[in-house]
Structure 1
Amino acid sequence: MLLLPLAGCGVIYHSTSVNPGITAEGKVRVLPLTAESVMLANAAPFEPKKLPGYFNQSAGINGTLAAPVTAPETAFNQVNRPDALTTRLPPPVAAPSYRIGVGDVVLLAVPQQGSTVEQLTGILAAQTARQGYTVQDDGSISVPSVGRVQIAGQTVEDAEATLFQRFLDKQIDPTFSLEISEFHSKKVAIGGDVTTPGVVPITLQPLHLDEALAAVGGAKSADLDTALVRLYRDGKLYEVPLKFVYEQPEIGRMLLLAGDSIFVDTAYELDKAAAYFEEQIKLAEFKQNERKSRLEALSSEVGLRRSELQERRDLFASRLELGAEARDYAYLTGELPKQSRYPLPFDRKATLADALYEAGGGLTSARSNPKEIYVLRGSANPLEYDSITAWHLDGRNAASILLATRFELHANDVIFVAAQPVTHWGNVVSALTPSLLVSSANAVSN
């Protein structure tokens, strides 16, 4: 009874299917999708489209620090602190008696002569005549009424005995006294890092090292740990750390001899070292500021580069959205929630599962037939343009879906999912329902 209305309505439902053999579209070959056939299908040459090169570039790919600015030449050389100071002391000597030498000034005091009346009154009793005499180059002094007397190399006592004898020889009253008023013949030279370099005379009292340094104002060195006192005596050089002079009395009281030369040597000059380190700090600050400037310039360059890359990428995305960029697609049809085309990704290959569940919305249990899932692919050989291979996936076994995750799609592949058999009649009924309702309404009205 139902056939007549159906025939009368003229509604016929045609379901889509994949038919092997020679068709109007060409030669169709259906191959079951197995692990081996997946390997065969994936072996066919296909390269996904590449993203433009600027998608693989970073903003700093061409950014490098600018050439550094040459720092100014240093004005000071580095002064290294010595590791250790050596001590070489001269042999100990006994304090010698002072002997008169050339250049010394001796003072000769004799009673002053007067009249008999003056002598009787005692006016001149306490008066003496004092006269200074400089020892000449020949070692003698010239005394009036006595003549030249050799006293160089003699002690004061020896010189007095010599003069006494000469006074007797000249029948002169040998009442006199002799003393040295100026000491010029015996000296110690002191130089180097002292307040007032110069010479220190040796007098009747022995001269010691600490006294000699004090006589020239002491050492100027602020770093006692590195200052040396060098002593040159009789062709030999001796040295001792300056701090030992002040810390060890036996060294500070070292006896100096005529002709000694002392030089205070600062092996580590603090002022130069401080100037050097200050200069190095300034150079480091200069380099840091200069590098900071170069980093800021690089940052600006990277920012511009990043903006340029982002602009080009945004333009590419806009062109894709508008369809202005060439792109590969796979096409989904059949009993799927959504008939669509699936854009193949750039730089990688997509699989059948990607297209089914991302673009097609997956299979529906009511309409999709998991037994009939096909991927149709045309031949890449121009001479076989009408040859079509249909890779058939039977998805009734859920384990077979794993093959869909391995099957790689190529450009222009067509993915087809057939309908469930019962769906055919459902579609027919859906198509006929409006006609049946119209026919019933017409019958009632008649």
Structure 2
Amino acid sequence: MAKRRLVAIALLMLGGCGIAYQSPKVNPLLDSGAKVRVLEITPESVMVANRSSYVPKQLPEVFFATAGVGGTPRGTGAVPEPVVDFQNKPGTLQTRVPPAVPETPYSIGVGDVLLLATPQTGNTVEQLTGLLAASNARQGYTVQDDGAIAIPNVGRVQVLGLTLEEAENRLFQRLVENQIDPTFSLEVAEFNSKKVSIGGAVGQPTVAPITLTPLYLDAALAAAGGITAEDLDYASVRIYRNGSLYQIPLRDLYSNSRLEKIQLIDGDAVFVDTSYELDLARAYFEEQIRLAEFKQNARIAALDELQAEVNIRNRTLTEARENYMTRLELNSVERDYVYLTGEVDNQTRYPLPFGQSATLADALYSNGGVPTETGNVSEIYVLRSSPDPREFGALTAWQLDGRNATNFLLSTRFELRPNDVIFVAEQPVTKWGRVISQITPSLITSAANAASR
């Protein structure tokens, strides 16, 4: 009799298991009477689903700003003309030649202007007719006091002291790092960092730049309009270099071609003197030394000012970014979310990323994927309603059948939209197991009560 009662109780509880355990599922008919359209996720349906318009939210501009400071190097004006002072003529002049310098590739310095040429874009007609101006694809950048050039979308690139080839390699790496087409050419458009001053008995005192090709004494004198001294017996070319004074009589210079090919270096001062005493040359060189010191001090001050401004901008950008991240942690920033429910490791909401779209695979596998022991991989749904609240009944359930593992490739192409709901159904055996787990305690209690009677 007790066994019959126990069986009857068990049958009664099994018959009412629908009340004991309710599991969510996708019902083609809502309680409101509206229908749910279930569409299988296929390559064609993915294209249809991705057509819905969506603009991802963007990070504030402060995350894309850099602390670079524009501007050009500071100068001190033109070189003053030397004072002419005639002295007594000597008997003979001695020749003192500066030591030879090794020929090295040109190194980029502060004030140089680098020309960056990138491929032009345009239609075939424009390219054939030459309507695109070269300036559209050629941009000059001045090497600033901190030794860098500032390139839009790339940032500051340090080029001070590099050869042209080394600068191209460094710029190539920075373009690749920023995912920019690294097709370009680089050249020096203006040579402003290395100079030689020429004064005295010349046609026009000047400052000659040192370029990619070495600057020799004869070329420097020609750039100053040539020598105007009439008396060759007591005229000489004096070269001031690194604190030492060298002298070449004009007759020796004209009679020895090797002297004309003395290579000049940055900071040299060349003075054509028509007197024996060194007072005039010394005054000229002292003037050049003071001018160089003044320029150096001015550049140091400008560099300190530049560094201070960069530091201030860095602190401002860092503070703004930290404030935004704090607001993000406190959920005070408007975000777009997708919701995960059903048989997933953790029922939660997945924030859509800034600046780009997210896919079904991104959301699923950011949450541990689908538990294969309990989740029904044949019923993975993306529930999407119409953005119009008056059309709530217009609900589409995009179904991914994961029994064929190749279909998971489609999940990497299915783009999510704000307020999508990702639902994973449970396996039938999982539902049955949960029913048993709920009724087993009741069966044990009922059997115990029946046995006690």
> TM-score higher than 0.5 here?
yes
In 2, Cα distance between equivalents of 1:78 and 1:400: 90
Does residue 285 (structure 1) correspond to residue 293 (structure 2)? The answer is yes
Q: What's the TM-score, normalizing by structure 2?
A: 0.55
Indicate the residue corresponding to 2:430 in structure 1. 423
**Helix, strand or coil: the match of 1:26?**
coil
Give, in angstroms, the shift of residue 383 of structure 1. Answer: 4.9
Q: Is the 8 A contact 2:88 2:277 kept in 1?
A: no
In 2, Cα distance between equivalents of 1:434 and 1:402: 44
Does residue 76 (structure 1) correspond to residue 68 (structure 2)? The answer is no
Indicate the residue corresponding to 1:370 in structure 2. 377
Structure 1: runs of 5 or more not aligned? 80-191, 196-217, 229-237, 247-264
Indicate the residue corresponding to 1:47 in structure 2. 55
Q: Is the 8 A contact 2:54 2:417 kept in 1?
A: yes
Q: Is the 8 A contact 1:330 1:341 kept in 2?
A: yes
In 1, Cα distance between equivalents of 2:16 and 2:378: 34
Which of the pair has more CA radius of gyration?
A: 1
Indicate the residue corresponding to 1:319 in structure 2. 327
Counterpart AA for 1:68: R
In 2, Cα distance between equivalents of 1:17 and 1:53: 43
Q: Is the 8 A contact 2:88 2:275 kept in 1?
A: no
Give, in angstroms, the shift of residue 332 of structure 1. Answer: 0.3
Indicate the residue corresponding to 1:232 in structure 2. none
Q: Deviations over 1:237-285 (max 9, x none)?
A: x966357999xxxxxxxxxxxxxxxxxx827985433433332233223
Indicate the residue corresponding to 2:24 in structure 1. 16
Q: Is the 8 A contact 2:39 2:398 kept in 1?
A: yes
Q: 1:299 aligns with which of 307, 326, 329?
A: 307
Structure 2: runs of 5 or more not aligned? 1-6, 98-200, 202-229, 235-248, 253-272
Matches within 5 A, 1:84-163: none
In 1, Cα distance between equivalents of 2:250 and 2:49: 95
In 2, Cα distance between equivalents of 1:283 and 1:244: 27
Q: For residues 329 and 224 of structure 1, do their structure 2 counterparts lie closer, same or farther at Cα, with a shift above 3 Å needed?
A: closer
In 2, Cα distance between equivalents of 1:9 and 1:21: 23
In 2, Cα distance between equivalents of 1:435 and 1:78: 118
Q: Aligned-pair RMSD on alpha carbons?
A: 3.6
Q: For residues 268 and 385 of structure 1, do their structure 2 counterparts lie closer, same or farther at Cα, with a shift above 3 Å needed?
A: farther
Does residue 405 (structure 1) correspond to residue 412 (structure 2)? The answer is yes
**Helix, strand or coil: the match of 1:399?**
helix
Give, in angstroms, the shift of residue 26 of structure 1. Answer: 3.5
Does residue 194 (structure 1) correspond to residue 88 (structure 2)? The answer is yes
Indicate the residue corresponding to 1:256 in structure 2. none
Counterpart AA for 1:301: E
Counterpart AA for 2:442: S
Q: Deviations over 1:327-367 (max 9, x none)?
A: 110000011111010011111111100100103x2111111
Q: Deviations over 1:187-212 (max 9, x none)?
A: xxxxx7536xxxxxxxxxxxxxxxxx
Q: For residues 321 and 3 of structure 1, do their structure 2 counterparts lie closer, same or farther at Cα, with a shift above 3 Å needed?
A: same
Counterpart AA for 1:332: L
In 1, Cα distance between equivalents of 2:339 and 2:348: 6
Give, in angstroms, the shift of residue 292 of structure 1. Answer: 1.9
Indicate the residue corresponding to 1:215 in structure 2. none
In 1, Cα distance between equivalents of 2:443 and 2:304: 80
Q: For residues 244 and 39 of structure 1, do their structure 2 counterparts lie closer, same or farther at Cα, with a shift above 3 Å needed?
A: closer
Give, in angstroms, the shift of residue 25 of structure 1. Answer: 7.3
Indicate the residue corresponding to 1:33 in structure 2. 41
In 2, Cα distance between equivalents of 1:240 and 1:58: 60
Q: Deviations over 1:76-96 (max 9, x none)?
A: 2799xxxxxxxxxxxxxxxxx
Q: What's the TM-score, normalizing by structure 1?
A: 0.55
Give, in angstroms, the shift of residue 65 of structure 1. Answer: 4.7
In 2, Cα distance between equivalents of 1:4 and 1:223: 124
Q: Is the 8 A contact 1:11 1:432 kept in 2?
A: no
**Helix, strand or coil: the match of 1:348?**
coil
In 1, Cα distance between equivalents of 2:231 and 2:67: 66
Indicate the residue corresponding to 2:274 in structure 1. 266
